[in-house]
Structure 1
């Protein structure tokens, strides 16, 4: 959790929804947020990889977070977004149901994730942030893809 801390004692998060749960990722890892465009399928990609898109000359893989985390799948809507993020040394797009806000969260409001906070494995989580009565699940983007999956995607591009 130490990488969440900054000098000011707070972090800025991009908040998004997957189903009914709210998640946050550090804004420092977010490059941009785009409307959903249909990715081009790539052969032999992991099942949670929807395909690739051309983003201003850069080919980036698109990951459906619901598939990655084994959550119930729903139709994409007008609110569905692709958040372009840095994962390790790679840039990937993650599909989310909706981006709701950018907010500042005091680091003292962040607790380690309890073993069963959501249907997502604790391995993918950095912690849980309390914002009033709301709980934000803080994702560890660097753990969304294993090194093997990162290499597999890099090889497919």
Structure 2
């Protein structure tokens, strides 16, 4: 298994890692629980002019201006709907606080290295650079997102620009 230069979410040497499982559309995803600061319901956001569509806006979270990103829009998974199940996952990534809108959150799953398979090549349909791999637990399969890579990409630099 390859390792990344960032403090990656790939377990090494038999250690288990915990992932917060969330849904987007019909798929289940996972993000390292170490990056999760808190979970919140979806509230109204302050929209920012000329921001990319996936940046829903910003919220004031205890004095910190937090950009809110809709992952369904980011991953081209159709038009998002916001209801009582919609959750904003507040993440702390490289000392930046970012909110990630997901359809729902289910639970925290512990995965061992043996339960994580490399992400298959998708032929450009999906950018696999942002994926840690696929985690399997019984009949469940989680698409594990390397949130550090996703949120430190050039595109995400726009978030900071528009939130400032």
**TM-score, length basis structure 2:** 0.86
Q: 1:73 aligns with which of 79, 87, 96?
A: 79
Q: 1:86 aligns with which of 87, 92, 106?
A: 92
Are 2:138 and 1:140 aligned?
A: no
CA shift for structure 1 position 46: 1.4
For structure 2, list consecutive stretches of 5 or more residues without a partner in the other structure.
none
Q: Secondary structure, in 3 states, of the residue corresponding to 1:144?
A: helix
Aligned to 1:153: 159
Aligned to 2:41: 35
Q: Contact (CA 8 Å) 2:38, 2:89: kept in 1 or not?
A: yes
Cα gap change, 1:11/1:74 in structure 2, threshold over 3 Å: closer, same or farther?
A: same
Are 2:128 and 1:122 aligned?
A: yes
Aligned-partner Cα distance in 2 for 1:34–1:8: 33
For structure 1, list consecutive stretches of 5 or more residues without a partner in the other structure.
none
Are 2:118 and 1:112 aligned?
A: yes
Q: Contact (CA 8 Å) 1:51, 1:63: kept in 2 or not?
A: yes
Give the aligned length.
Answer: 156
Moved more, 142-151 or 129-138: 142-151
Q: Contact (CA 8 Å) 2:136, 2:142: kept in 1 or not?
A: yes
Aligned-partner Cα distance in 2 for 1:60–1:114: 33
Moved more, 69-78 or 24-33: 69-78
Q: Contact (CA 8 Å) 2:14, 2:113: kept in 1 or not?
A: no
Q: Contact (CA 8 Å) 2:73, 2:80: kept in 1 or not?
A: no
**TM-score, length basis structure 1:** 0.90
Q: Contact (CA 8 Å) 1:9, 1:106: kept in 2 or not?
A: yes
Aligned to 2:23: 17
Cα gap change, 1:151/1:21 in structure 2, threshold over 3 Å: closer, same or farther?
A: closer
Aligned-partner Cα distance in 1 for 2:13–2:66: 32
